[in-house]
Structure 1
Amino acid sequence: MSPPSRLTELRLLLGIERNTTRHGEKWISGIGALLGIVSVYWLTRWTFPEHAAGAVGGALMVTSMGASAVLLFAVPQGALSQPWAVIGGHLLSAFIGVSCQKLFADHAWTAALAVGLAVLGMYYLRCIHPPGGATALAAVIGGSQVHELGYGYLLMPVLINVIAILSMAIVFNALFPWRRYPAHLHKRRQPIPATRPAARQFELTQEDFSAAMEQLNSYVDITTENLTELLELAKQHAEKNITHPQDIIAGRAYSNGKLGKLWSVRRVLTQEERPADAAPDRLHYHVIAGDQAAQSGACSVEAFRAWARFEVVSQGSGRWMKAE
């Protein structure tokens, strides 16, 4: 096989994933974030008018609300976006930041200590929320205006900001059935059809899933409810076609049906695309997605058929679906 292109290697190295989100969803997320920040500003201004005098916004909101807006309106179903993560993450981090500033004021390492302890605390209280790190940092480097607030920083602006953006997230996402927030309220418009366990070669259980997550030993931004639902849908989709394709047709794409890093899509080259010195009994292909992307290779038709699980068609934006 030929080596992968430099562009492909760079994309993989940088971790640039193929975006499968539709344009409408992107616009909904952007508008939601806009309204979320507007609600933060106006609710805080209305609740504490004395702080609004002469302030454009810096004294009314913490900048970490911008990061929270990304999570609440772009990934409302994510584990890091759920209410306890937002409330606990911001308030705990604010408390730790203020405490570090009071105990170790004017030290170069105080800000780093605040962020480190905030991450540690959020882990143990099960409220990991990345913007919380910025809330802890702001309590230390926010200047005299923030330092004078002391532990009042937890109430104004942090708590009021959190209430405002959470309220907008609940109301705004409720307008779209597939974005219900919190994630527990999310109900599919189409119920998942039941599949008889006996029809499956194997059945993954919740215990299997928990064991796998423990072995992975890394925080994954998805709730257990959504993850098990996604797994069930994927298994049912896989059961639609479990045989290898009978005919391998030039110009079409095929998937090996694997998961994760082992997944791959190959396109069979047409006669015109084959190398000039290609052997007539060899099938030539190009890897167009997944493992060994951008590489080319050749094998027998029988070997390719054994590798291929089913034919696939592109849906754009890196999405591949089984061919009908």
Structure 2
Amino acid sequence: MWLRSFWPAPMAISKSQQAVSCLGAFCGLSFTAWFCHSVLGQASLWLIAPMGASAVLLFAVPSSPLAQPWSILGGCIVSALVGVSCARWLGHAGWVAGLAGGLAIGVMFALRCLHPPGGAVALSAVLAGEPVARLGYHFVVFPVAINAAMMLLIALLFNNLLKRRYPHRPADHHNPHKTADAVPRDRVGFTPDDLDAVLNARGELLDIARDDLEEILRQTEERAYRRRFGEIRCGDIMSTDVLSVSPQTPVSEAWTLLLEHRLNALPVVNQNRQLQGMLNLHDLLATADAHGECEHIMQRNVLTCKGEWPVSYLLESLGSSPEHRMPVLGEDKVLLGIVTQTDLVAALYRTALETRG
């Protein structure tokens, strides 16, 4: 039984992402080797082995806290400083290499730039022999800092070109209404404070960003909810008799429609019923041109959904944004209906009654 722990767990990563990671590492290492060889020439160390380990982090697990820009730059540079200092003051013995590796980890912890290849950089400064000893503290800049900077540059370009979120930015949980209350989704189930308390109690470093862990747990809750209560689709609860205006509709006419039907917003569609934007009441209140056209004041970036999507998508989107309604679109952005927070609450209430019964 104990030996089973040595067997590797399956990796939940697609074949395409594996190929992308390999391609990224090739691009990063090749460019860094070419650039540093061109700048430093044959007389110097122009590419150090720890960059291979950095490539694994930057291109295979770019969301890892250990792969972020400050981690690679700070981790490599401070580790090189520690390694060179140990070699100059204490020599090149094996125990000095061990001391350099341990001190490098301690400094990286203190500066919040933990980067595993940094340990290898510290050992290289002690054990790599005459070429590094001759460079002294220049080793920190040439090649360590330049290698790290070039690898980071390619990681930024490559990962963002392929729509990977890098650098990894924490999710924004601020209330869109700018009040002190948490967003609705953080008021039920587990809260960010609950997650922080558990992580602090564990007291160990996890190789996953905190906001990624939170999002995984919330999606797990959402999946469990759908399994328990069944799938209600957005198209099941939407309103289909939807009042709308065209981009050329005068603002005064839109204002009259909103007042007459006691609405807070109107979808703006073209002659083919394709959604062009949303006209909100506060847009009308903010404009001074009562004789203008709706297309000049409508909101063009609109949250939308599909009729076949589960309402759990609405729980996330409407619960953490300032919007209180969402257009339901068909093929070619044709407007099929509108789902409001009221529709969502009614559907959840009906589901709860049916489940209880």
String of CA shifts for 1:117-152, please: whole Å, max 9, x gaps. 011111111111100000000000010001111110
Q: Over aligned residues, Cα RMSD in angstroms?
A: 2.4
Cα 1:103–1:159 shift into 2, 3 Å: same
Q: Following TM superposition, by how much is the alpha carbon of 1:186 offset from its aligned partner in structure 2, in angstroms? A: 9.3
In terms of fraction of residues, the more helix-rich structure is 2
Matched, 1:31 2:23: yes
What is the CA-CA distance between 1:85 and the residue it aligns to?
0.8
Q: Which amino acid aligns with 2:15?
A: H
1:159 equivalent in alignment to 2:151: no
- Paired residue for 2:12? 20
Q: Of the two structures, which has the highest relative contact order with CA contacts closer than 8 Å and spacing of 6 or more?
A: 1
Partner of 1:101: 87
User: Given the alignment of the two structures, is residue 128 of structure 1 paired with residue 114 of structure 2, yes or no?
Assistant: yes
Question: Given the alignment, which residue of 24, 36, 41 partners 1:44?
Answer: 36
Q: CA deviation at 1:109?
A: 0.9
Identity of aligned residues (%): 36
| Cα shift at 1:217 | 1.5
- 2:170–2:211 contact (8 Å) kept in structure 1: no
Aligned to 2:169: 184
Q: Is 1:74 matched with 2:64?
A: no
Which structure has the larger Rg? 2
Distance in 1 (alpha carbons) for counterparts of 2:94 and 2:48: 22
Q: Work out the CA distance in 1 between the residues paired with 2:126 and 2:53.
A: 18
The count of corresponding residues between Structure 1 and Structure 2 is 220
Deviation at 1:241, TM superposition (A): 2.0
Match of 1:91 among 59, 66, 77: 77
Asked whether the 8 Å contact 1:170–1:180 carries over to 2, the reply is no
Q: Deviations over 1:282-317 (max 9, x none)?
A: xxxxxxxxxxxxxxxxxxxxxxxxxxxxxxxxxxxx
In 1, distance between residues paired with 2:18 and 2:124? 29
SS of equivalent residue, structure 1 residue 148: helix
1:276-287, aligned counterparts within 5 Å? none
Describe the superposition over 1:134-179 as per-residue Cα deviations: whole angstroms up to 9, x where unpaired: 00000000100011111101100001001110011011111222x2
Equivalent residue of 1:241, what SS? helix
Residue equivalent to 2:134: 148
Structure 2 contact 37–46 (Cα < 8 Å) conserved: yes
> Residue 109 of structure 1: SS of its match in structure 2?
helix
> 1:10-44 deviations in whole A, cap 9, x for unaligned?
4x321511122111111110111011111111121
CA distance in 2, matches of 1:15, 1:186: 34
- Indicate how the Cα distance of structure 1 residues 18 and 111 shifts in structure 2: closer, same or farther if over 3 A, else same: same
TM-score, normalised on structure 1? Answer: 0.63
Q: Distance in 2 between matches of 1:185 and 1:217?
A: 21
Q: Using the alignment, how far apart are the partners of 2:7 and 2:160 within structure 1?
A: 32
Alpha-carbon distance in structure 1 between the residues aligned to 2:170 and 2:215: 14
C-alpha contact (below 8 Å) 1:67/1:131 kept by paired residues: yes
Partner amino acid, structure 2, of 1:27: A
